[in-house]
Every structure is written in C-alpha cells, then in structure tokens.
Amino acid sequence: MSKRTTAKSGAGSDSAKGGAGGLNARILVLHGPNLNLLGSREPAIYGRTTLADIHVAMEARARADGVQIESFQSNSEGGLIDRVQAAGAEGIEIIIINPAGYTHTSVALRDALAAVAIPFIEVHLSNIFARESFRQHSYFSDLAVGVISGLGAQGYELALEAALGHIRKPQ
C-alpha cells in the first residue's frame, strides 16, 4: 500500500516563482514502512503526531518559499525504489527520506538513491543510536547530505529547512 500527496504552490503563478530567491523547486519526502501508523504506533517512541500532520506542516513551509513538495509513503521496498527512480526523471532537487525499518536492511533502496544521484537528507523520529543494536546501523547515512535522528516530528521540519537551504545554494 502506498500513499502519495502532492502540494503544488501554483506553478506559473508569481508565488511559485517568488518565495526565496525565485524558487520553483521540487522536494520529495519519502516515508518507509509502518510510518502510516504514526500517531498510534508506539507513541512513547514515535510520538502522537500523524504522518498527515507532518505533511501539512511541511507543505505550508514549502509553499511559503514557492517550493513544490510531494510526500510518498509505502510499506513496500519496491514501491519506494520505484518512486526514487521516477524522481530521477522528474527534476526532483532533493529528497527527504525516513527509510524506517529499511534503514537497517535495504541495500536495494540505497542503490536506487545512489543511482539517481539526487541529494537526500535522512530522518528518523527516534534516536536510532540509543535503540537496539540492530537499529544502530544505517545503509544510507554515508550517502546522505545530513542525518537527523531522535527529534521526533520536528526532525522533518529541520530536514525541510536544510533542504530549502540546499536549494538556495548557487550551483
């Protein structure tokens, strides 16, 4: 099962080209398995904020900068890989990804991110380094622009700010 939500800031309008430095960039936010259960799944670890709450906050912030943001969640490794590969042909400028359980297991998802060569920021709601030993290794961190771990839903907000800063940098 996968869910895609797209927020466009009005392509072609002044607001889409205005914002911070005339941006009309695109950011993809990927959420791995079980993140569709946020808000009810182990709230002592992951908090009570839902995935929809996270997306609404990110959408509002991105829109303020005239940036398009798309959120995609899948419990399927193949669904996430397909979405990463499609992003390579769509002009996505940066990816924010919470690979969830695939953080510790998915060489295939890592390979897809390496293949498209789109910069990405890795996010984890919990502090993976303070959890079980098998959760303390990430197949993604060494490729990531940055890693945010253990700050709950605020980690996504911080990742978005970092992504916006990355987009603003002169190429």
Q: Report pLDDT for 170.
A: 76
20 burial level (CB within 10 Å; 0-12, 13-18, 19+): middle
pLDDT at 134: 66
Angle at alpha carbon of residue 99, lines to 96 and 103, rounded to 5°: 130
Which residues line the annotated binding site for substrate? 98, 104, 111, 125-126, 135
Token code pair at residue 84: 């990463």
Tell me which of 46, 102, 139, 156 is the catalytic residue: 46
Which are the contacts of 171, defined by CB distance < 8 A and separation ≥ 6? none
Q: Which residues are part of a known binding site?
A: 98, 104, 111, 125-126, 135
pLDDT tens, 2-57?
A: 454 444 333 333 333 344 444 579 999 999 999 999 998 888 888 889 999 999 99
Query: What does the DSSP 8-state code read for residue 108?
Result: H
* 166 annotated active-site: no
156 carries an active-site annotation: no
The class of domain 27-63+82-92+107-168 in CATH terms is alpha beta
| Residue of 31, 55, 102, 124 with catalytic role | 124
Say what the alpha-carbon torsion angle 121, 94, 8, 58 is, to the nearest 10 degrees: 20
Write out 39-62 in H/E/C secondary structure.
Answer: CCCCHHHHCCCCHHHHHHHHHHHH
Q: What residue segments make up the domains of the chain, in order of their start?
A: 27-63+82-92+107-168
User: What mean pLDDT is reported for the chain?
Assistant: 86
Cα diameter, the chain: 50
